Amino acid sequence: MTDNLVAQDAQAGPIIGIAGVDVAALQPVEPGYRRAIAIRNAMLLVPLAAVASFVDVVILRANELPWGGLMVASILLAAIGIFTLPSRAWHKIGYAFGDDALRVAHGMWFRRDTIVPFVRVQHIDVGQGPAERMCGVAHLVLHTAGTHNSIVTLPGLLPERAAEMRDAIRALIRSDFA
Amino acid sequence: MAAERHLHPLSLLVALPRLGPQLFGLIPVIAAISISGRWGVLALMLAIFAVVSLVTTFLRWRRFVWMVDDDAITIRQGLWSRSERVLPIERIQDVAIEQKLVHRLLGLAIVSFESGAGGEGKRDDARLDAISLADARALREQLRHNAAGVVPTATGDAAAVEEPAPPGHILHHMGLRRLLVSGIFQFSLAVFGVVFGLLTQFDRFISFDLFDFDFWQEIATQFGLGEWVGAYRWLAFLGTSAVVLFIGAIAGIVRTILRDWNFTLSSEPRGLRRTRGLTTRTDVLIPRARVQAAIISSGPVRRFFGYYALYIQNLARDDDGDGKQERDHLVAPCVRLTEVDGILADIGLSRSDLRHGDWARPHRAMILRIPLVFVGIAVLQTIVMAIVAPQLLWVPGLLVASALFALATGWLDWRLRRWRFDGRTLESVTGWLRSRHVVLPARHVQSADLYISPLRRRFGLADLLLGVPGGKAERHRLSYIDAPQLRALRISLLQRG
């Protein structure tokens, strides 16, 4: 199964057709996105570790229960989530932007690999959350009419690149009907 | 390029009352401070809340920018999270203008756009809340011009329903006999449960409990009826069960008669037309152009007798007769497979026979997926129990028993699953208890996911998940198929689109 970022059939030229997107080498997203994931994880895990540590040191100790383990575990979890996981998750995100379709793949153990033909796109979002803004990246969202997976998100793009991709898809939708 | 525009300044006035509900979140705090009697702190807090709310409302308004050019509507918004949405005009299905009371007083209007994008629980794809009514009307006119041929279809269907019905030829009609057959299959365990519950309630009413062992034992000892009454206890239980079953069957038949009385499905130039109902008669048109997929489904008993229900997945939702919204339209509640074929032919679909044809099967590893989860939890539990409570080591044993049960049902599920793709239509069959045979033309596939979990990777397998308009999420899924084969299938499905 060729699901890594390793080029399977590295193409130099434009990626043509849906089959082209499928065999094209997946491109990595911006390295800055690693920091965006880290910030997002920190916003969740740091308060969690703080609460767990409080429970451990104050409540468990006061009741003469074995204490210390919960604090260590929660801090360890936060450290992994902030320092280790983001770069691994980043490494597993890849995309191929073709002439007719976008392919987005992500996930380490549970991997998901999506292809959306541009003719199926209903509308397009380019957005930036607070963490993303700090790291200078944006995300592109393609909305399709499908009930399953109607929203396909490609994170970790330079804002200019996201806008460029959006405009390309928009032009294509227009010519599709003209 | 068109100019960037803000919403109407008066829309700020409309937005203000919406701050009220946010104040509810503060009530506990307000109460706490009031009790302590520090009114100065309370006043200061309310002042800060008011200022922050007003400023953010204003900033939100400042950041909300919309513009219309030749081919798209662009909306830029957001204070913390910023987003820019582009709706290509060709994709706009519907432009709605709405005025609430406040809007009418101020001469404003909310404009919402529907592009037909999927997704759960969303209302519209873009919303201008609010602009002046004159602007709203001008905008709609402009869009009608640009998107000529697209906007009228949205209202076209409603008009079709109001037209005097052309007779059309009848595809399926339910006579009384079929209605009764359908009713018997409608027998549901839910009704069974309700009746059982009611009976126990009723028992309490008549001051003894039929299901209470002590009650019967008391009688047995009091009257010295001994063994005879012991046997009678079981007789009473059987009798009650028979009553419950009978009521369940009657309830199913009554429900079916109410809903499907004079059920008629006819073929019309625009699509399928269904009329049904005894007390509430409904008349629904399913336009041919909106048909996405067909689902032939059946329960274990019904399948044995050769009866199936046919559903059509389309963009609209159906009412199931009890006021519940169904995602698919039921076009035939109780039909033979030959009748299914007749209806399918009318909407340009066809199904393959399960016994013939080149059906492909999923990999056997599929059987393991749920048992492995149970075994995993059992192993973890064993470790924990060994440390914490060795006397409870039998508990993980229950999970192992569940794993064995899951292995059996997993095997049944695997045995009945199959799929085939003839280059135009994808068919898949799933479900060992309630079976589903889905017929999906490739041209309706919107997007395709490959999904690979550790277990699937171990065997070189993947799942294919297809996005199709309408219907339930996750329905169009092929599980545990050879990954390279599935990749090729994905490409051919998307290319047919």
| B83 to A176: CB separation less than 8 angstroms, yes or no | no
> Does the beta-carbon distance from B452 to A173 stay under 8 Å?
no
CA angle, residues B98, B101, B102, in degrees to nearest 5: 100
Please count the structural domains in chain A. 2
Summarised one tens digit per residue, pLDDT across range A123-136 is 899 999 999 999 99
- Confidence band (pLDDT; 50, 70, 90) for A39? very high
**Domain end among A68, A88, A108:** A88
Categorize the per-residue pLDDT at B101 as very low, low, confident or very high, splitting at 50, 70 and 90: confident
Worst-scoring range by mean pLDDT, B186-195, B282-291, B483-492?
B186-195
In a domain, A127, yes or no: yes
The architecture in CATH of the region B11-157 reads: Roll (2.30)
Mean pLDDT estimate for chain B: 82
Q: Looking at residue A148, what is its pLDDT?
A: 75
A174 with B71: Cβ contact below 8 A: yes
Partner-chain residue, chosen from B118, B126, B462, that has the shortest CB–CB distance to A147: B118
CA-wise closest residue to B315 among A120, A146, A152, A121: A146
Question: Which of B89, B291, B292, B447 is the mutation pick for testing A, counting most A CBs within 10 A?
Answer: B447
The residue-averaged pLDDT of A144-168 equals 91
**Local confidence band at B157 (pLDDT 50, 70, 90 cut-offs):** very low
Q: Which helix (H) or strand (E) holds B11?
A: helix B11-15
Asked if B114 contacts B134 with a C-beta cutoff of 8 angstroms, the reply is: no
Does the distance separating the beta carbons of B116 and A129 come in below 8 Å?
Answer: no
State the pLDDT confidence band at B438, using cuts at 50, 70 and 90: very high
Same domain membership, residue A165 and residue A123:
yes
Residue at B172: amino acid letter: H
Alpha carbon of residue B222 to chain centroid: 56
Answer whether A167's CB lies under 8 Å from A142's CB: no
Angle at B139 between CA B134 and CA B141, to 5 degrees: 100
Read out DSSP for B75-131? Answer: EEE-SSSEEEEEEEGGG--EEEEE--HHHHHHTEEEEEEE-----SS---SEEEEEE
Residue A157 in any domain: the answer is yes
At B234, the pLDDT band (50, 70, 90 cuts) reads: confident
| Least Cα separation, residue B360 to chain A (angstroms) | 20
Rounded Cα–Cα distance for residues B487 and B463 (Å): 10
Domain-wise residue ranges, chain B:
11-157, 179-260, 364-414
Q: Are residues A65 and A147 in the same domain?
A: no
Q: What is the pLDDT of residue B47?
A: 87
Task: Say whether both A109 and A172 belong to one domain.
Answer: yes
- Please name the residue of chain A whose CA is at the shortest distance from the CA of residue B472: A147
Mean pLDDT of B200-216: 53
A/B interface, count of CB pairs below 8 Å? 159
Q: Radius of gyration (Cα) for chain B, nearest Å? A: 31
Nearest residue of chain B to residue A21 (CA atoms): B491
Closest CA to A9 of A21, A20, A25: A25
Under 8 Å between Cβ of B385 and B392: yes
Q: Give me the amino acid identity at B404.
A: L
Cβ within 8 Å of A, B 35-94: 71-72, 78, 80-88, 90-91
Cβ A22 vs Cβ A36: under 8 Å: no
Q: Which domain holds residue A50?
A: 35-88
Across the interface, do B84 and A119 touch by the CB < 8 Å criterion? Answer: no
Rounded CA-CA distance B93/B118 in Å is 13
pLDDT, average across residues B400-428: 93
- Chain B residues whose CB is inside 8 A of the A109 CB are 453-454
Q: Do A77 and A142 lie in a common domain? A: no
Residue A58 has pLDDT above 50, yes or no: yes
Nearest CB neighbour to B467, from listed A17, A133, A150: A150
- The per-residue pLDDT for range B320-354, each reduced to its tens digit, is 666 667 778 899 999 999 999 999 999 999 999 98
Judged against a pLDDT cut of 60, whether residue A115 lies above it is answered with yes
Per-residue pLDDT, B322: 63
CB B391 within 8 A of CB B487: no
Contact map slice: B 416-455 vs A, CB within 8 A = 445-454
Binary contact (B457, A1; C-beta < 8 A): yes
Inform me whether the pLDDT recorded for B204 exceeds 70. Answer: no
Give the minimum alpha-carbon distance from B382 to chain A in angstroms, rounded to a whole number. 20
Mean pLDDT confidence for B147-172: 51
pLDDT above 80 for B166? no
**Same domain membership, residue A170 and residue A101:** yes
Count of C-beta atoms within a 10 Å radius of residue B353: 9
Single out the residue of B282, B318, B296 nearest to residue B471, CA to CA: B318
ipTM here: 0.84
- Under an 8 A CB cutoff, do B86 and A170 touch? yes
Q: Are B382 and B399 in contact (CB under 8 A)?
A: no
Q: Are B491 and A166 a contacting pair at CB < 8 A? A: no
Structural domain contains residue A48: yes
**How confident is the model over A100-106, as a mean pLDDT?**
94
Nearest to A123 among B125, B447, B460 (CB): B125
Percent of chain B with pLDDT over 90: 37
**A67 and A127, same structural domain?**
no
The pLDDT tens digits of the residues spanning B426-435 come to 999 999 888 9
- CA B263 to CA B272: how far, in whole Å? 13
User: Are residue A77 and residue A101 in the same domain, yes or no?
Assistant: no
Does the pLDDT value for residue A45 go beyond 90? yes
CATH of the domain at A162: 2.30.29
CA dihedral B422, B316, B477, B488 (to 10 degrees): 40
Given a contact cutoff of 8 angstroms between Cβ atoms, the answer to whether B95 and B150 are in contact is no
Residues of A in contact with B86 (CB under 8 A): 123-126, 166, 170
- Please list every residue in chain A whose beta carbon sits closer than 8 Å to the beta carbon of residue B376: none
Q: Whole-angstrom Cα distance, residue B372 to residue B381?
A: 14
Chain A nearest-CA distance from B66, in A, is 14
pLDDT mean over A12-36: 87
3-state class of B199 per DSSP?
helix
**Which is more confident, B302 or B204?**
B302
Q: What is the pLDDT of residues B249-273, one digit of tens each?
A: 888 889 899 999 999 999 988 889 9
Instruction: Provide CB contacts within 8 A for B77, sequence distance 6+.
Output: B60, B63, B64, B65, B83
Best A113, A134, A149, A161 member to test B by mutation, with max B CBs in 10 Å, is A149
Is the CB of A1 less than 8 angstroms away from the CB of B118? no
**Residue A145 domain-assigned (yes or no):** yes
Confidence at B160, pLDDT banded by 50, 70, 90: very low
Confidence of residue B150 (pLDDT cuts 50, 70, 90): very low
Which H/E stretch holds residue B421?
A: strand B418-421
**What pLDDT shows up at residue B366?**
94
- Strand locations in B320-405, DSSP E? 325-335
**Pair A65, A140 in one domain:** no
Give the pLDDT confidence score for residue B251 in this predicted structure.
Answer: 84
pLDDT at A10 over 80: no
Give the residues across from B241 on adjacent strands: none
Nearest CA to B444 out of B421, B470, B408 is that of B470
Asked if B218 has any chain A CB less than 8 Å from its own CB, the reply is: no
Smallest Cβ–Cβ distance between B83 and the set A109, A126, A170 belongs to A126
* SS3 label, residue B352: coil
Is pLDDT at A44 greater than 60 in this prediction?
yes
SS (H, E, C) chain A: CCCCCCCCCCCCCCCCHHHHHHHCCCEECCCHHHHHHHHHHHHHHHHHHHHHHHHHHHHHHHCCCCCCHHHHHHHHHHHHHHHHHHHHHHHCCEEEECCCEEEEEECCCCEEEEEEEHHHEEEEEEEECHHHHHHCCEEEEEEECECCCCEEEEEEECHHHHHHHHHHHHHHHHHHHC
Answer whether B155 touches A (CB < 8 Å).
no
Assess B487–A contact: CB distance below 8 Å, yes or no. Answer: yes
Residue type for B228, please?
A: W
Do A72 and A156 belong to one domain?
Answer: no
Q: Would you call B452 and A111 a contact, using CB atoms and an 8 Å cutoff?
A: yes
**Percent of chain A clearing pLDDT 70 (strictly above):** 90
Q: Which of residues 449-478 of B touch A (CB under 8 A)?
A: 449-454, 457, 460, 462, 465-476
Return left, alpha or beta for B111; rule: phi > 0 is left, psi -120 to 50 is alpha, else beta.
Answer: beta
Residues B128, B64: contact at Cβ < 8 Å? Answer: no
> How far is residue A120's CA from residue A52's CA, in Å, rounded to a whole number?
46
* pLDDT at position B164 over 90: no
pLDDT given at position A106: 94
Residue type, B157: D
Question: From edge to edge, which strands make up the β-sheet containing B477-482?
Answer: A27-28, A94-97, A101-106, A111-117, B447-452, B461-467, B477-482
**Is A53 within a domain?**
yes
User: At residue B212, does pLDDT exceed 80?
Assistant: no
Mean pLDDT over residues B174-181, rounded? 92
* Alpha carbon distances (Å) from B259 to B254, B255, B288, B354, B361: 9, 6, 24, 31, 38
**Residues A117, A149: one domain?**
yes
Nearest residue, CB atoms, A130 vs list B80, B91, B470? B80
* Contact residues on chain A for B471, CB-CB shorter than 8 A: 147
pTM above 0.80, yes or no: no
**Domain match, A101 and A136 both:** yes
pLDDT at B96 over 90: no
For the residues B44-49, what does the mean pLDDT come to?
86
In a domain, A11, yes or no: no
Residue B130: asked if its preceding bond is cis (omega within 30°), the reply is yes
DSSP B330: E
Q: Which residues of A touch B475 (CB under 8 A)?
A: 148
pLDDT of B399 reads: 86
| Total Cβ atoms within 10 A of residue B95 | 21
pLDDT band for position B290 (cuts 50, 70, 90)? confident
A5 in any annotated domain? no
Average pLDDT score over chain A: 87
Considering only CA atoms, give the Rg of chain A.
Answer: 21
Give the pLDDT of residue B1. Answer: 52
Residue B315: name the closest of B285, B336, B296, B292 by CA: B292
Contact B413, B406 (CB under 8 A): no
pLDDT of residue B191: 58
Res. B467: pLDDT tops 70: yes
Asked which of A48, A71, A88 is the last residue of a domain, the reply is: A88
Note whether residue A121 is domain-resident. yes
Query: Are A99 and A45 found together in one domain?
Result: no
* A130·B494 Cβ contact <8 A: no
Is pLDDT at B407 greater than 90 in this prediction?
Answer: yes
Q: How confident is the model at residue B158 (pLDDT cuts 50, 70, 90)?
A: very low
Answer whether residue B159 shows pLDDT above 60. Answer: no
C-alpha distances (whole Å) from A50 to each of A37, A75, A80, A83, B458 are: 20, 8, 15, 17, 38
Compare CB distances from B447 to A120, A126, A166 and report the shortest one's residue.
Answer: A120
Q: CA of A116, closest CA in chain B: separation in Å? A: 5
- For B113-148, the pLDDT digits (tens) are 887 776 555 556 788 988 999 999 988 888 877 654
